[in-house]
A and B are shown apart, each in its own frame.
Chain A
Amino acid sequence: MIGRVAARLGGAVFVLWAVASITFFAVRLIPGDPAQAVLGGPGSQASPEALAMVRNEYGFDQPVLVQYLAQLGRLATGDLGRSYALNQDVGPLVLSQLGGTLLLAVLALALAWLLALALAAWSTRGGTVAARVGSGLETVAAALPHFWLATSLIVVFSIWLGVFPPVSTGGATGLVLPVLTLAIPLAGFLGQIMRESLLLALESPFVLSARSRGESERGVLWTHALRHASLPAISLSGWAFGSLISGAVVVETIFARPGLGRTLLNAVTLRDVPMVIGVVMIVAVVYILMTLLTDAATRLADPRLRLS
């Protein structure tokens, strides 16, 4: 038990280090001068003296390796640094944006699960036509790109029907379209996996045994088959959550919703290195926690994993 926890923690630290390092070097590939970013971005008319001063103060004149180690040292103490562009501490800034994105992702994941379960259960029980329709819907849904889906939803629900606002205004109605945009493709993907394992479970001898005891179709589904069907989807939910957060970059931009995704996009555009690293690190931490949660959920749903 202690060994497993230690291995987990070690793995998490390794992931964080790798994320920090890759981001640090990747951001340097964006063309432009970081000192320029500090002094108001690419458009500003900073004097060469001011640029030199900033370079010296921020350590941009040091060798890359020194800058990298300094960055790691700061991260190790939990200091995410100051944003170049906003001249504020990155930590509180990022955390203030985290809530909105998490809410979006959690709602989208929950909705995707509901849609996938409903579709899988309906299409495996409704005969061959339902099976074809279900499988077709899943394939189409899984293939929809976020930007296209978001635009289409805005056209239908905001412009034609006028039911939901095209821009997130903070209220509950503003959440509907962004959540739908993220949930529909994921539902298609989860549904494909669930339907396959549900069909497998319904064909297995233990379901025949249950029927021979007088279990109803609904009982077969709820006491036996759905649990088997959800196992692979549970293990994939950690990954799915990560993909939702990356999907949030597009969705938050389209719906003009504050959140991590938009913060990240702005930071990259402005070459705001500490901000980019800050967002990425927070997302990595969320991802790690989500993976741990998924593991726990898998062990809860599959008692076989709890045996030694």
Chain B
Amino acid sequence: MSMTEPAAALTVRNLRVGFRADPVVRGVSFEIARGECLAIVGESGSGKSVTARSLLGLAGANARVSADRLELAGRNVLGLTDRAWRARRGKDVGLVLQDALVSLDPLRPIGREIADSLRLHTTLGAAARARRVLELLDAVGLPDPARQVQKLSGQLSGGERQRALIAAAIALDPPLLIADEPTTALDVTVQAQILALLEQITRAGTAVLLISHDLAVVSRIADRVAVMHDGLLVETGSSRQVLGSPRREQTRRMVAAIPADKPRGTRLSLTLRAADAPSPPRVPIPSAVPPASTAVLEAIGLSRSFRRPDGSRHLAVDDVSFALQRGTTLGIVGESGSGKTTTARLLLALLAPERGEVRVFGEPWSAASEKTRRGLRPSVGAIYQDALGSFDPRWSVAEILTDALGLLQRRRAPLTTARLVTLLDEVGLAAAVLPRRPLELSGGQRQRVGIARALAARPEILICDEPVSSLDVSVQAQVLDLLDDLQRERGLSLIFISHDLGVVQHVSDEIAVMRAGCLVESGPAARVFAAPQHPYSMQLLAAVPRLSA
């Protein structure tokens, strides 16, 4: 490196960003050297994405950005005009967003999207641009680039299009690459591949700024970690130091929230009080296995297929059998497209199996008529991933819960309100949320209302389909703890469906691993994690984000 070349790809001193009167970023300072990966980790609303966008001059028209120093590749970018910013974007700094399905224009072939930076910043002709696009696709590890350039983002798998998005961001080999939650929408194995690609880009000399809500994800590749909370960087240090011996309260809470490798029954969410007080007794749930005859829910040889648009059949669930024992949790894990959600719908008898049957309390369930089932329905509750989508947006929380209690027609207000408050109390919400509508609630509050709704009918079995997948790690920790408490208090039996093996490991007594509609392995959680039998389980297990620093 010559003397004139600056060591830092990015220097930020006392960066402040506000919208109208609201300061969102309240003075952050950091720098990133070439070939270094810095991760900024924080919960949603901590200001991390706004920070990232300010570095591209894209914080928004209403944003007020100020700093003592803001330098990209050694050159000041504070107060640049729009035109001057455009000349730097893509050339001096690249941006990779979450989920390339919507971050690449769905109407344009990926080749055109990747060639855009070349078209805007270089004088290369069309043929030279096309050659460079193929090189880039090859560099990001997309097989058969010549065929892929013509495809739309919707025709590629999640991992493939994320690679294409990265190729578009590094087309001009910018000294700084910003990746904002680049793996959040991906399956764990694909996530591991994309992280490896980002690591490879770092090693090649690019400075990488990684933005994430998940400490475990970034710990794999970040050289340094900065924890952001309420617009400030509360702790910065090497990954090993920040994750291994966190000094600040907020960091400790984030480390504690990571579910992987935490024994069943361990609390994940540290309240401020609990952290100051001596550690609360961490009593694992007694895993005394009840007699085999107490299966509350059984799947016996379930199969179900769907028609593809071209008329062929797609076997979504193929001869799946398992049994849920009373008071325990059965975790079903698999990647997208493995048939998890179809299984959930079969278990809820929202979908009829083509072969096999579902039995509840030893009685026919899928084979019974809907009329007979309706009497039993209150004992089988459900929690969905998209809590917001599962509510009528025009109903208040009070209406949603009153409906679930089956009291909507009988308007006995005082009695109902008392029951609603009790119900909310059970899921850790205050009565103040009763008049609010789902859109006015935070993600964690919505999922709690979803759980309260499922509990309203006093179910014995709860089927949870990706209940924490759309939540921040810290909120996820609170919801997982809540489910744990409810199971202990009420003796609930849970089916817990997730793509996240770390979460499943933490909550489950028994585990079933699904792949392409088939159950490839099942057994006690401890056994499956200690000694997985099927190669696919081993592959999944290796990809789980854990604190590896």
Contacts and interface: CB of A to CB of B under 8 A. Distances in A.
Contact of B86 (A208, A214, A224, A307): A214
Given A205-B98, A208-B97, A304-B106, A214 B121 contact: yes
A212 interface: yes
A291 B171 CA distance: 42
B531 interface: no
Contact of A213 (B90, B98, B102, B310): B90
Interface string A199-231: 000001110111111111001000110011000
Q: Most chain-B Cβ atoms within 10 A of its Cβ — which of A209, A211, A215, A228?
A: A209
Nearest to A212: B95
A213 B97 CA distance: 12
B120 A206 contact: no
B107 A209 contact: no
B58 A211 contact: yes
Given A205-B97, A205-B98, A303-B152, A213 B106 contact: no
A307 B86 CA distance: 35
B95 A304 contact: no
Most B-side CB within 10 Å, residue of A205, A215, A223: A205
Nearest to A227: B107
B104 A212 contact: no
Given A205-B103, A304-B106, A210 B310 contact: no
A224 B113 CA distance: 10
A76 B88 CA distance: 68
Contacts of B88: 214
Nearest to B92: A214
Given A212-B95, A212-B169, A214-B90, A302 B116 contact: no
Contacts of A302: 107
Contacts of A214: 86-91, 117, 120-121
Nearest to A204: B102
A302 B108 CA distance: 9
A205 B102 contact: yes
B58 A212 contact: yes
B105 A224 contact: yes
Contacts of A227: 107
A212 B92 CA distance: 10
Contacts of A224: 105, 107-108
B176 to A, nearest CB: 12
Contacts of B91: 214
A87 interface: no
Nearest to B117: A213
A211 B106 contact: no
Interface string B65-94: 000000000000000000000111111011
Identify the interface centre among B93, B94, B97, B105: most chain A CB within 10 Å of its CB: B105
A205 B120 CA distance: 19
Given A204-B102, A205-B97, A214-B87, A307 B155 contact: yes
A230 to B, nearest CB: 11
Nearest to A205: B103
Contacts of A77: none
A215 B97 contact: no
Nearest to B310: A308
B303 to A, nearest CB: 26
Nearest to B99: A205
A213 B154 contact: no
Contacts of B414: none
B280 interface: no
A209 B310 contact: no
A47 B377 CA distance: 79
B358 interface: no
B1 to A, nearest CB: 26
Contacts of A308: 309-310
Interface residues of A, number: 23
Contacts of A205: 97-99, 102-103
Nearest to A211: B58
Given A205-B99, A206-B102, A307-B155, A212 B107 contact: no
B104 A213 contact: no
B121 A209 contact: no
Contacts of A211: 56, 58, 89
Contacts of B310: 308
B168 interface: yes
A213 B168 contact: yes
Contacts of A228: 107
A212 B89 contact: yes
Interface string A290-308: 0000000000011110011
B165 interface: yes
Contacts of A303: 107, 109, 152
B98 A212 contact: no
B58 A208 contact: yes
B90 A206 contact: no
Interface in A87-123: none
B162 to A, nearest CB: 12
A209 B86 contact: no
B103 A209 contact: yes
A216 B119 CA distance: 12
Contacts of B113: 209
Interface in A252-278: none
Max chain B C-beta neighbours (<10 A), residue from A219, A227, A303, A304: A303
Interface in B145-183: 152, 154-155, 165, 168-169, 171
Contacts of B168: 209, 213
A308 B154 CA distance: 13
A114 B103 CA distance: 29
B207 to A, nearest CB: 16
Interface in A176-211: 204-206, 208-211
Contact of A206 (B58, B106, B171): B106
Q: Which of B95, B116, B309 has the most CB of A within 10 A?
A: B116
A227 B117 CA distance: 20
B316 to A, nearest CB: 19
B433 to A, nearest CB: 28
B534 to A, nearest CB: 33
A4 to B, nearest CB: 13
A82 B94 CA distance: 72
Contacts of A204: 102
A210 B168 CA distance: 10
B97 A209 contact: yes
A216 B81 CA distance: 12
Contacts of B117: 213-214
Interface in B224-244: none
Nearest to A217: B82
B120 A215 contact: yes
Q: Which 9 A-B pairs have the closest CB atoms?
A: A212-B95, A213-B90, A214-B90, A214-B89, A205-B103, A206-B105, A213-B117, A214-B86, A205-B102
15 contacts: A206-B104, A208-B103, A210-B116, A212-B90, A212-B93, A213-B90, A213-B94, A213-B169, A214-B91, A214-B120, A223-B105, A224-B108, A303-B107, A303-B109, A304-B107
Given A211-B58, A213-B90, 13 more contacts: A205-B102, A205-B103, A206-B105, A208-B97, A212-B94, A212-B95, A213-B116, A214-B86, A214-B88, A219-B120, A228-B107, A307-B152, A308-B309
